[in-house]
Amino acid sequence: MRYIEPHAHMVSRTTDDYEAMITAGCAAVCEPAFWAGFDRSGVQGFYDYFCQLTDYEPKRAAKYALPHFCWLCINPKESEDMVLADEVLSIIPYFLDRPTVLGIGEIGLNKNTRNELKVLERHIDLAAKHDQLILVHTPHLEDKLKGTKLIVDALKADSRIKPERVIIDHVEEHTVDLVLDAGFWAGITLYPESKVNAARAVDIIEHADVHRIWMNSACDWGHSVPLAVPRAAAELRKRGHSAEAIDGLIFGNPQRFLGQSPRFKTA
């Protein structure tokens, strides 16, 4: 089996996780910028984080012969502070030329506030100006449907944005068609408990158009499973999906989306 992990917060993970991922067939890992579990005290914290994502972490992954790529932004949780958000947005262009940066992400909404929406629009503008791919985080639980609609509207409002160059992540049963019907890619994040588990993800896949869907673990500093994608592949196999169909979903699809960046490559 081979697969791509398109959304994992590896700075929070151990070398054992890298070892387990390559043993399971991981051929590339992509790391969106996100919340650290605490609010950073200033723009310097983001500068250091972007250096870590573009320099140190690819070197750490290289020790396991695993290509590592990243996405840059200020995450929605910290974008309530508009002054900080503008400062962070101003330093992102300095990092966009680094060889493993794929685009802007994970941007989006957390509580669907007015400030979050303004910062989302500024990120969309930044991506359009620099012709970057976009990775979007959608809110959890009761905010998800409304937040996903707001995000789709914000992306559609900017005529420079090509939907096939945007992936909207953390979709669930009630948001997947909204995202796919608008022409975007959809990401299904696999959680060990409470949210989308492997069985639910496979249910979604069996009822949706799978050509623009990827699955990811989004593993981070919280309770999460770096091997969630190969475990979902095992669930697909148990349900009778062919090896070819599984390969298309966990390797072919992310490769097609991420391959829109000439920088992306697999091991």
Note the residues at the interface with Zn ion (CB under 5 A). Answer: 34, 218
Are 226 and 13 in contact by the 8 Å Cβ rule? The answer is yes
Distances (CA, A) of 108 to 26, 33, 136, 185, 210: 27, 12, 5, 15, 23
Query: CB of residue 243 vs Zn ion: minimum separation in angstroms?
Result: 29
Query: CB of residue 52 vs Zn ion: minimum separation in angstroms?
Result: 15
Helices (H), 130-160: 144-156
Q: How far, in Å, CA of 200 to CA of 206, rounded? A: 10
Query: Which of 171, 205, 165 is closest to 186 using CA atoms?
Result: 171
Q: How far, in Å, CA of 205 to CA of 218, rounded? A: 18
Query: CB of residue 170 vs Zn ion: minimum separation in angstroms?
Result: 8
Token duo for residue 26: 């991981």
Beta carbon nearer to Zn ion, 138 or 197? 138
Q: How far, in Å, CA of 251 to CA of 82, rounded? A: 38
Beta carbon nearer to Zn ion, 88 or 218? 218
Are 54 and 71 in contact by the 8 Å Cβ rule? The answer is no
Query: CB of residue 135 vs Zn ion: minimum separation in angstroms?
Result: 9
Beta carbon nearer to Zn ion, 26 or 246? 26
Beta carbon nearer to Zn ion, 11 or 246? 11
Q: At what angle do helices 43-51 and 82-95 cross, to 10 degrees?
A: 30
End-to-end CA distance of the chain: 13
Beta carbon nearer to Zn ion, 34 or 50? 34
Beta carbon nearer to Zn ion, 72 or 218? 218
Beta carbon nearer to Zn ion, 150 or 218? 218
Query: CB of residue 104 vs Zn ion: minimum separation in angstroms?
Result: 14
Residue 166 bridge partners (DSSP): 134
Q: 179: part of which helix (H) or strand (E)?
A: helix 176-181
Q: How far, in Å, CA of 57 to CA of 110, rounded? A: 26
Query: CB of residue 7 vs Zn ion: minimum separation in angstroms?
Result: 6
The position carrying tokens 């976009």 is 134
Query: CB of residue 46 vs Zn ion: minimum separation in angstroms?
Result: 16
